[in-house]
Amino acid sequence: MSKVIVVGAGINGVTAAIELKKRGHKVLLVDPGPLPHPLAASTDISKVVRAAYGADEDYTALAEQATRLWRKWNKEFGAQLYHEVGAMFVRQQQMQPGDFEYESFKILKRRDHKIERVNSTQLWKRFPAWNLELYRDGVLELEAGYVESSRAVSTLIRHAESLGIELREGGRFSRLDEDDHRVKGIVIDDGHRITGNIVVMAVGAWTPYLLPFTKKFFRATGQPVFHLRPRQPELFAPENFPVFGADITTTGYYGFPVNRDGVVKIANHGPGREMSPESPKRVVTPEDERNLREFLSSTFPALADAPIVYSRICMYCDTHDGHFWIARDPEREGLVIAAGDCGHGFKFAPVLGGIIADAVEEKPNQILQKFRWRPNVRAGSGTDVARSRGNL
């Protein structure tokens, strides 16, 4: 049994803490708070859950496991965190081999998912908010939807505390406490040292700033998110308006049906702007808003002038190849980094803790090969990989 310090209580940190505690470790979870942290990537009303991952079958398989567990969590926690409203990924052109949508369709079909091809006027009529003249083809994944992400993090934090995990809300990691390539614990910003055998850094977009030696591996980028209040909410009800990606690999836009507060969330996944999560530049720009309005007028005319009730810049922690980074540092014994979410990690919450705990315990796990320590991956490849996978 080790004493593990998990730094960061977003979805990676809290799921890792829970799994490590269940495996018998003594666990301390540290975050400046308040939790869920308002600046954390995990903190928002919704995140997409889908198994459509283009040609990348590893993520499809992982999403299948996660989706089953989201259903189980809904029951276990007595709260509907996961809403299985379906997700559609559609194009303005006909799907072609190599497209994210086509490859997703092919793999989901082969793996016996419940899917429909959305390529006839008749089918499009089921989705009246869409500009039917613009979009013509795509895949509707029925066993997909979204999770209420902030609510999921709050639920898991409470669960973590009930399991006896020590939570230090108000603790801000300052640096690693290291000695001769061995991590002995952490130092928090009041200078206080906390000892531990293993430190798991799960600080998302803060990673390259808190661990400057990781700047070579990670890039923190801001992406705009909008919450709108539709004037005709019935058009955006889940049965008429599943989660969507609208030609996601070219427009970057995706979104969610109206929630119980009457809000439709629309966001853009793109190259983003590099910045620290605590930068004063972390605000939506007039250009972001102009781009959104243009997209809405062409795609969802009924949302074109809907009031924006909230907006934020949400931070990805990008890796150069678009894959997560969950690995032990070969140069600092006792350090594990669980980051590099590239904007699509939340859906995997129910399986993330197990993957991170396997990295901590050095247990064989095939997917850890994909998420391994890989300093030689070059800049530039990530955006393409992420685009071919759709992201979000």
The distance of closest approach from Cβ of residue 225 to ligand FAD in the complex, given in angstroms and rounded to an integer, is 5
Write the burial class of residue 317 (CB in 10 Å: 0-12 exposed, 13-18 middle, 19+ buried).
Answer: buried
Q: Which is nearer to ligand FAD, 7 or 115 (CB)?
A: 7
The distance of closest approach from Cβ of residue 231 to ligand FAD in the complex, given in angstroms and rounded to an integer, is 25
325 makes contact with ligand FAD (CB under 6 A): no
Q: Which is nearer to ligand FAD, 32 or 257 (CB)?
A: 32
160 makes contact with ligand FAD (CB under 6 A): no
Give the Cα separation of 168 and 170 in Å (integer). Answer: 6
Q: Which of 81, 157, 203, 355 binds ligand FAD (CB under 6 A)?
A: 203
Q: Which of 144, 341, 367, 387 binds ligand FAD (CB under 6 A)?
A: 341
Give the Cα separation of 227 and 258 in Å (integer). Answer: 10
Residue 46 CB contacts under 8 Å (≥ 6 apart), including other chains: 146, 147, 148, 149, 256, 259, 265
Q: DSSP states of 275-289 as a string? A: --TT-TT-S--HHHH
Q: Contacts with ligand FAD in 259-278 (CB under 6 A)?
A: 267
Q: Which is nearer to ligand FAD, 91 or 389 (CB)?
A: 389
10 makes contact with ligand FAD (CB under 6 A): yes
Q: DSSP states of 260-280 as a string? A: TTS-EEEEE-SS-EE--TT-T
Give the Cα separation of 168 and 150 in Å (integer). Answer: 19
Q: Which of 4, 12, 21, 62 binds ligand FAD (CB under 6 A)?
A: 12
350 makes contact with ligand FAD (CB under 6 A): no
**Under 8 Å between Cβ of 319 and 277:** no
344 makes contact with ligand FAD (CB under 6 A): yes
**Under 8 Å between Cβ of 239 and 246:** no
Token couple for 222: 């801001």
Q: What are the C-alpha distances in Å from 316 to residues 14, 286, 352, 366? A: 18, 21, 17, 25
- Contact flags string 30-49 toward ligand FAD, x per CB under 6 A: xxx----x--xxx----xx-
Q: Which of 138, 196, 204, 245 binds ligand FAD (CB under 6 A)?
A: 204
**Under 8 Å between Cβ of 175 and 17:** no
Give the Cα separation of 80 and 78 in Å (integer). Answer: 7
Q: Which is nearer to ligand FAD, 124 or 211 (CB)?
A: 211
Give the Cα separation of 277 and 207 in Å (integer). Answer: 10
Q: Which is nearer to ligand FAD, 45 or 107 (CB)?
A: 45
- Contact flags string 167-196 toward ligand FAD, x per CB under 6 A: -----xx-----------------------
The distance of closest approach from Cβ of residue 334 to ligand FAD in the complex, given in angstroms and rounded to an integer, is 17
21 makes contact with ligand FAD (CB under 6 A): no
The distance of closest approach from Cβ of residue 220 to ligand FAD in the complex, given in angstroms and rounded to an integer, is 10
Q: Please report which helix (H) or strand (E) contains residue 210, including its range.
A: helix 207-210
- Contact flags string 288-317 toward ligand FAD, x per CB under 6 A: --------------------------xxx-
- Contact flags string 225-254 toward ligand FAD, x per CB under 6 A: x-----------------------------
Give the Cα separation of 191 and 338 in Å (integer). Answer: 24
Give the Cα separation of 248 and 271 in Å (integer). Answer: 13
Q: Which is nearer to ligand FAD, 9 or 292 (CB)?
A: 9
The distance of closest approach from Cβ of residue 174 to ligand FAD in the complex, given in angstroms and rounded to an integer, is 7
Q: DSSP states of 41-89 as a string? A: TT-SS-EEE---BTB-HHHHHHHHHHHHHHHHHHHHTTS--EE---EEE
Q: Which is nearer to ligand FAD, 194 or 267 (CB)?
A: 267
Q: How many residues bind to ligand FAD according to rule CB under 6 A? A: 38
Contacting residues toward ligand FAD, per CB under 6 A: 7-13, 30-32, 37, 40-42, 47-48, 172-173, 202-206, 210, 223, 225, 267, 314-316, 339, 341, 343-347, 392
